[in-house]
Amino acid sequence: MPDRAYRAAPADALRIETLGELTAIFDRRSMQTHLVIAPMPEILAAMGGDACGADAIAARLAGEFDLDGEGDVVAIVADRLAELAAMGLVAEA
């Protein structure tokens, strides 16, 4: 299956606040607040304004974090991207 490309919501559409282990993401477009845990905020940050797939995001995250022993990082990121898409925080590009 080809790697799907996603684009994060525009930065000005989201307000992101860290609350200890949780992160609150308020989506100004839908007026919904989502409570998420790592690696969701890190994935959004790694995406920036680019359209990218799980493999590119995993590579960006590997540059910032020690991901050895984390299993199949690309598969994990792909699953999290699907969850972010279901919340409306990313969309297929």
For the full predicted model, state whether its pTM sits above 0.85. Answer: yes
Residue 93 in any domain: the answer is no
Give pLDDT tens digits along the chain (93 positions).
568 999 999 999 999 999 999 999 999 999 999 999 999 999 999 999 999 999 999 999 988 887 776 678 899 999 999 999 999 999 999
Which structure tokens are listed for 66? 């020690």
Task: Tally the domains of the chain.
Answer: 1
Inside any domain, residue 15: yes
CATH number of the domain at 18, please.
3.90.930
Asked if residue 1 is part of any domain, the answer here is: no
Please report whether residue 50 resides in a domain. yes
Does 66 fall in a domain? yes
Give me the domain span that covers residue 28: 6-88
Q: Tell me, yes or no, whether 52 lies in a domain.
A: yes
Please count the other Cβ atoms lying within 10 Å of the Cβ belonging to residue 76.
17
